Each structure stands twice: as C-alpha cells, then as structure tokens.
C-alpha cells in the first residue's frame, strides 16, 4: 500500500539560481524505488498550517472527496534520494505562479507538506525508467527532469555509455553530475534542447532513451528520434513532466 506522510523540512540547500534541494524528515513509512521514483506532494491551502492528508487505502478517491476549499494542492515530483526516514526533493524554481514552486522558494526548516509515495512493502514503485540491457543510453530532460536523470545516472555501471542532453533556465544551473565513465553531457541554457539532440552525432544502434521535459518539447524530440532516426517509440520513455500554460 502507498504511504501518505506529513513530512517536515529539516534542511534547505539553494543549489543554483533555479534549483533548491529540500530534505524532509518523517518519511519512515516510505521506501523509494530509486531511479525516477515519482511521488505526489500535497500543499496546504491558504489559511491552513498543514495539508489535510488523504486515506492511504484509496488516496485518490479520498483526495477527490475532500471539500474544494480544504483539498490540498497536489503536484508530482521525484525522490532525489532517501536516507532512512529522510528524503530529498529537488525543486526547479519557476516563479511564484505555481504553488509548488512558490512553496519551495519560501520553505524553511519546520515547513510541512504531505507526500504520497511507495510504502515500505509496496511492490508498485511508479518508475518509468526500464532500460533492459541497451548498448547505450540517451537521456534528454529540462530542469524538471534533472533530479530524475541525476538519480538514474548514479546507478549506471562504470562501463555504461550514455549521452545526456539537459536544458536549464540559467547558466549558473549547470552542475557536475554523478556520471559513469563514458557519459557525455551537453547543456543548453533556456532553449535549444531539441536542436542539440537533432544535431548530435550519436553512437550506432538503438539505445534506451529516457526523455522527460515540457510536453511539446518531448513531442518534438520523440518525433525526431522515431521519424528521423527510426527508433521504436514504444521501446523508450517519453514523459511530459509539465505543460506550458497549464497547471498540473
């Protein structure tokens, strides 16, 4: 069964202009599957000091059944790492128009939110990354997928070959990534991600591709990989992590 916990901020680290890494305590009932482990965060409504939490047995039904004015805002994020009852989430900051981004910018030790994620005995880990044994890996992501891709890169064997294309809002967001020996990372600032993939001289053979970013960008990259390069669209992961102009 999923775990639904109230998590308390114990540390906030501003990594770069657009990223903040927040450590939460209180997640003992949760066990991340690693990689791109997705979770839901629940934010208190204005006037509440903590979010209402849904029942774990039917968390979605229970969340939907809450009154409109008290139902917590729910957003999707990635567990960047877990250490016992503590988990880290990296938030890509994009201003205060988004409740999650605004919450993260203002978060400080003692702030609370709810998290819905895999319970300690839960077999269902909600992971999209499923590479098999490809000859090489391709990772393409914008700021929102940097946490997932960084987390996956940490698990690659030392002799794995990977090409990584990342787009971030600010030159100051470029960072060292935990990379296996044969990993090449290409950064783009603000734009140019799909163009960089299109122009790349990639190794021969079809890799496993993990592509996660703004939805239109993902469609663009998918079209290139499947049409121009002839890859099998069903053999890879293409995830729209957010949609320009729409709240989650």
C-alpha atoms less than 13 angstroms from C-alpha of 21 in its C-beta half-sphere: 15
Q: Please report, for residues 15, 131, 194, 196, the alpha-carbon distance to residue 150 in angstroms, rounded to integers and kept in the order given.
A: 14, 15, 19, 19
Minimum CB–partner distance for residue 75 and ligand FAD (Å) = 4
CB 168 within 8 A of CB 186: no
- Position 246 contacts ligand FAD (CB under 6 A): yes
> Residues near 194 by Cβ (< 8 Å), separated by ≥ 6?
217, 220, 221, 224
- Position 24 contacts ligand FAD (CB under 6 A): no
Query: Binding marks (x or -) toward ligand FAD, 186..225, rule CB under 6 A?
Result: ----------------------------------------
- Position 139 contacts ligand FAD (CB under 6 A): no
Options 24, 35, 63, 91; binder of ligand FAD; rule CB under 6 A: 91
- Position 243 contacts ligand FAD (CB under 6 A): yes
Pick out residues in 55-84 that bind ligand FAD (CB under 6 A): 75-78
- Position 13 contacts ligand FAD (CB under 6 A): no
- Position 144 contacts ligand FAD (CB under 6 A): yes
- Position 173 contacts ligand FAD (CB under 6 A): no
The sheet with strand 137-141 has its strands ordered as 182-189, 161-168, 137-141, 208-214, 237-242
- Position 137 contacts ligand FAD (CB under 6 A): no
- Position 99 contacts ligand FAD (CB under 6 A): yes
Reading the block at residue 82, the tokens are 């877990």
Using the Cα atoms of residue 49, residue 16, residue 185 and residue 143 in order, give the sign of their dihedral: positive
- Position 46 contacts ligand FAD (CB under 6 A): no
- Position 242 contacts ligand FAD (CB under 6 A): yes
The total number of residues shown for the chain amounts to 248
Burial annotation 115-148 (CB, 10 A radius, 16+ → b, else e): bbbbbeebeeebbebebeebebbbbbbbbbbbbb
State the residues that interact with ligand FAD by CB under 6 A: 38, 75-78, 90-92, 94, 97-101, 143-144, 147, 241-248
């Amino acid at each position: 069964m999923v775990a639904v916990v109230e998590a308390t901020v114990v540390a906030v680290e501003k990594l770069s202009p657009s990223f903040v890494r927040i450590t939460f305590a209180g997640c003992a009932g949760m066990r991340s599957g690693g990689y791109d482990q997705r979770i839901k965060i629940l934010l208190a409504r204005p006037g509440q000091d903590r979010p209402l939490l849904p029942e774990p047995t039917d968390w979605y039904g229970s969340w939907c059944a809450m009154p409109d004015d008290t139902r917590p805002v729910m957003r999707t994020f990635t567990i960047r790492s877990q250490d016992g009852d503590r988990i880290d989430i990296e938030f890509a900051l994009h201003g205060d128009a988004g409740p999650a981004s605004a919450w993260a910018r203002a978060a400080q030790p003692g702030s609370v939110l709810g998290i819905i994620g895999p319970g300690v005995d839960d077999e269902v880990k909600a992971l999209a990354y499923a590479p098999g044994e490809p000859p090489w890996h391709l990772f393409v992501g914008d700021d929102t997928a940097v946490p997932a891709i960084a987390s996956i890169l940490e698990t690659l064997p030392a002799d794995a070959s990977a090409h990584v294309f990342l787009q971030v809002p600010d030159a100051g967001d470029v960072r060292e990534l935990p990379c296996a020996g044969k990993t090449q990372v290409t950064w783009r600032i603000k734009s140019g991600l799909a163009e960089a993939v299109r122009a790349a001289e990639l190794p021969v053979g079809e890799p496993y591709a993990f592509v996660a970013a703004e939805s239109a960008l993902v469609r663009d990259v998918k079209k290139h990989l499947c049409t121009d390069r002839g890859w099998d669209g069903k053999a890879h992961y293409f995830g729209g992590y957010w949609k320009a102009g729409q709240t989650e």
